């Protein structure tokens, strides 16, 4: 079977770490490179976090590139949901050195890697979309060279997690999200914040998965400790209407779709955009259900996923 070629853009982030581990364990996947953006931590910390994950998974040969350190326009948002360093503030005296980060800038690497393999590469984005926005501005033909793209971000029903109506990745750089959703014309899959909330995994499964006798399982359980404390707090009554109790790892869903889009069993196919000016809705993803925008390119917004196969990917990642 021909390997699926992935180029992954992250703001790692515990969720990104888990998503990377899924891809690294998948037998039909080859990661060509990992580009880093600010988000869950500073971009320097994100690079270090990616290197830590690669070392735990014995894949330090995969090149890591440093990218955008701040949004295109607005001030950065961060709630340190994954700890101040993005990986649960778990000390690691044996972490790889920053000298292992490539000298080539992430944006240049995105353009080069995709251009060298036209229509062969799946682009996966699990953080703010700043690197991707800069790449399309440098090479407007880039989207025509991408096989497809899987994004974790945005929302379907105007529910936010960092703002009232905006999800973190899009709210962190709304202009970048707007550029990507309006200028990337390749086939695109989006898994939203609300989708992840309504497809949480039972805590029994999380314990079974992270209690496997492996270095990877122990690593993931350690870095998730801070986040799990947040996730196990009582869910406010109104949020409980869409947030199921249990373990949520948003970025893993986008990675699962990138590895095998057939895992999506139901989706909304429509044009989307991003609100830039609303006082309460800046960064919110807009679904054009009635085709009022008359946009040629449409995206697939995931509504349902084969959860048993998804759980299988997560279990396999930590073996």
Q: What is the pLDDT of residues 245-284, one digit of tens each?
A: 899 999 999 999 999 999 999 999 999 999 999 889 999 9
Contacts of 73 (CB under 8 A, 6+ apart): 173, 175
For 167-187, the pLDDT digits (tens) are 999 999 999 999 999 999 999
**pLDDT of 97 above 70:** yes
Contacts of 13 (CB under 8 A, 6+ apart): 39, 40, 41, 46, 49, 82, 86, 87, 126, 127, 251
Task: Put the strands of the sheet holding 29-36 in their side by side order.
Answer: 64-66, 29-36, 4-10, 121-125, 148-152, 188-191, 299-305, 264-274, 285-288
Residue range 132-154: average pLDDT?
Answer: 98
Distance from C-alpha of 28 to C-alpha of 33, rounded to nearest angstrom: 16
**pLDDT of 239 above 70:** no
- Which one has a higher pLDDT value, 80 or 72? 72
How much is the pLDDT for 44? Answer: 95
Residue range 201-219: average pLDDT?
Answer: 96
For 47-67, the pLDDT digits (tens) are 999 999 999 999 999 999 999
**pLDDT of 241 above 70:** no
Is 251 known to be catalytic?
no
Phi-psi region of 23 (alpha: psi -120 to 50; beta: other; left: phi over 0): alpha
Domain interval for residue 91? 4-317
Active-site residue identified among 11, 15, 173, 251: 11
How much is the pLDDT for 161? Answer: 85
Q: Mean pLDDT over all residues of the chain?
A: 93
**pLDDT of 46 above 80:** yes
Domains held by the chain: number: 1
| Confidence at 237, pLDDT banded by 50, 70, 90 | low
Q: Name the percent of the chain lying above pLDDT 70.
A: 97
| Confidence at 95, pLDDT banded by 50, 70, 90 | confident
How much is the pLDDT for 231? Answer: 84
CATH number, domain of 151, equals 3.90.245.10
């Amino acid at each position: 079977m021909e390997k699926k070629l992935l180029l992954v853009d992250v703001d790692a982030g515990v969720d990104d770490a888990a998503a990377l581990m899924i891809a690294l364990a998948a037998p039909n996947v080859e990661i060509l490179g990992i580009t880093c953006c600010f988000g869950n931590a500073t971009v320097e910390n994100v690079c270090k976090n990616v290197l830590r994950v690669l070392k735990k998974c014995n894949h330090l040969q995969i090149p890591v590139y440093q990218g955008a350190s701040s949004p295109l326009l607005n001030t950065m948002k961060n709630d340190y949901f994954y700890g101040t360093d993005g990986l649960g503030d778990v000390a690691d005296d044996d972490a790889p050195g920053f000298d292992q980060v490539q000298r080539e800038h992430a944006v240049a690497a995105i353009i080069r890697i995709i251009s060298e393999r036209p229509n062969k590469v799946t682009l996966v984005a699990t953080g703010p979309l700043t690197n991707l926005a800069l790449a399309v501005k440098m090479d407007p033909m880039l989207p025509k060279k991408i096989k497809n793209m899987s994004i974790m971000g945005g929302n379907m029903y105007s529910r936010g997690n960092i703002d009232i109506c905006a999800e973190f990745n899009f709210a962190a750089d709304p202009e970048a999200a707007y550029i990507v959703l309006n200028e990337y014309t390749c086939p695109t899959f989006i898994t939203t914040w609300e989708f992840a909330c309504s497809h949480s995994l039972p805590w029994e499964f999380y314990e079974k998965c992270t209690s496997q006798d492996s270095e990877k399982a122990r690593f993931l359980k350690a870095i998730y400790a801070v986040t799990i404390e947040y996730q196990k707090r009582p869910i406010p009554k109104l949020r409980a209407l869409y947030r199921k109790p249990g373990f949520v790892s948003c970025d893993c869903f986008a990675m699962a779709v990138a590895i095998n889009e057939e895992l999506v069993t139901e989706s909304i196919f429509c044009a989307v955009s991003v609100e830039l000016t609303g006082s309460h809705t800046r960064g919110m993803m807009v679904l054009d259900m009635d085709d009022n925008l008359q946009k040629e390119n449409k995206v697939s917004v995931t509504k349902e996923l084969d959860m048993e196969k998804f759980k299988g990917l997560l279990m396999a990642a930590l073996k």
